[in-house]
């Protein structure tokens, strides 16, 4: 399998605090890799390193063999790695069309004044409609993002990242705040969208073990800034001590 994204012995310290210690991980072509762990385990720090928001204190972060430490999410999106950033929380007054268009315009390196004439720009409008259709948002294009249901907001967040045409996408708890009944529906939509869009790899940061069990190819468990396990789901969930350590209780799946 082709290696897409990896860290090699990455550590991150903040003064005397060690948030990550010698973490090595890899994402290959065709994989969905879940990152799990209790609060304070280092999940957010790891994602911020993977998306270029932070530079490691030591070690390497590589995307397709190229060092991406600290390059930032905009440059990384141009290279083919995107992160869902919950844009609707930043721009709640934009419509669905405008929210997706913001990503499309960024990807195509066009000017922001195109918001005034989105429908007149065929390339932008066509891509916006295509992404909206993939995520079931075609009938909501002119709806203000803040008025969407929680599930639709989550889909819009991720749709904006997909509009950047990434090869690898990082999803940080994409179903948080969504009812249990809707979570699998959203994940199925995301998986189908990833396949249709040609996304080669997914990193999922998730606390819901039902989703982790159902959709992961591998599971990386962090504990106090270190890799506690890197296993396929069958082996991971067969270890009751590991599950108890990661989520703080025993659970059957």
- CB within 8 A of 146, min separation 6: which ones? 88, 92, 93
Question: What torsion, rounded to 10 degrees, do the Cα atoms 233, 235, 241, 243 define?
Answer: 0
Q: Can you read off the two tokens belonging to residue 77?
A: 């999106």
Q: What is the pLDDT of residues 29-73, one digit of tens each?
A: 999 999 999 988 999 999 999 988 899 999 999 999 999 988 988
How confident is the model over 67-85, as a mean pLDDT? 87
More confident site: 12 or 122: 12
> Residue 86's pLDDT is what?
64
pLDDT category at 253 given cuts 50, 70, 90 is very low
> Residue 36's pLDDT is what?
95
> Residue 222's pLDDT is what?
95
Domain 1-80+168-175+199-253 has CATH 3.40.1390.10: no
How far, in whole angstroms, is CA 42 from its chain's centroid? 16
Q: What is the pLDDT of residues 171-192, one digit of tens each?
A: 988 888 888 888 999 999 999 9
> Residue 34's pLDDT is what?
97
State the number of CA atoms in the 13 A half-sphere of 225 facing the CB.
13
**CB of 148 within 8 A of CB of 92?**
no
Average model confidence (pLDDT) across the chain: 88
> Among 92-106, 118-132, 133-147, where is mean pLDDT lowest?
118-132
> Residue 89's pLDDT is what?
73
What is the reported pTM?
0.88
Give all strands of the β-sheet with 168-172 in edge-to-edge order: 81-83, 168-172, 201-205, 32-36, 218-223, 226-231
Distance in angstroms (rounded) separating the CA atoms of residues 208 and 34: 11
Give ranges for CATH 3.40.50.300 in the chain. Answer: 1-80+168-175+199-253
CA distances from 35 to 56, 70, 109, 136, 219 (A): 18, 20, 32, 27, 6
Give Dmax over CA atoms of the chain in angstroms.
59
- CB within 8 A of 215, min separation 6: which ones? 32, 34, 187, 191, 204
């Amino acid at each position: 399998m082709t290696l897409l994204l990896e860290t090699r012995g990455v550590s991150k310290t903040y003064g005397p605090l060690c948030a990550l210690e010698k973490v090595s991980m890899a994402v290959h072509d065709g994989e969905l890799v879940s990152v799990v762990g209790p609060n304070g385990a280092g999940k957010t720090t790891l994602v911020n390193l993977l998306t270029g928001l932070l530079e490691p204190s030591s070690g390497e972060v590589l995307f397709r063999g190229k060092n991406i430490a600290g390059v930032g999410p905009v440059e990384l999106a141009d290279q083919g790695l995107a992160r869902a950033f919950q844009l609707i929380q930043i721009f709640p007054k934009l419509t669905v069309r405008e929210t997706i268009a913001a990503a499309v315009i960024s990807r195509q390196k066009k000017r922001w004044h195109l918001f005034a004439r989105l429908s007149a720009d065929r390339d932008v409008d066509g891509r916006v409609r295509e992404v909206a259709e993939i995520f079931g948002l075609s009938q909501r294009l002119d709806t203000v993002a803040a008025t969407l249901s929680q599930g639709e907001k989550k889909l819009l967040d991720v749709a904006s990242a997909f509009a950047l045409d990434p090869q690898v996408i990082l999803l940080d708890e994409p179903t948080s705040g969504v009812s249990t009944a809707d979570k699998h529906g959203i994940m199925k939509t995301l998986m189908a969208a990833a396949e249709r869009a040609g996304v080669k790899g997914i990193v999922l940061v998730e606390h819901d073990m039902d989703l982790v069990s159902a959709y992961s190819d591998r599971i990386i468990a962090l504990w106090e800034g270190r890799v506690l396990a890197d296993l396929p789901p069958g082996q991971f969930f067969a270890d009751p001590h590991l599950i108890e350590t990661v989520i703080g209780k025993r659970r059957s799946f």
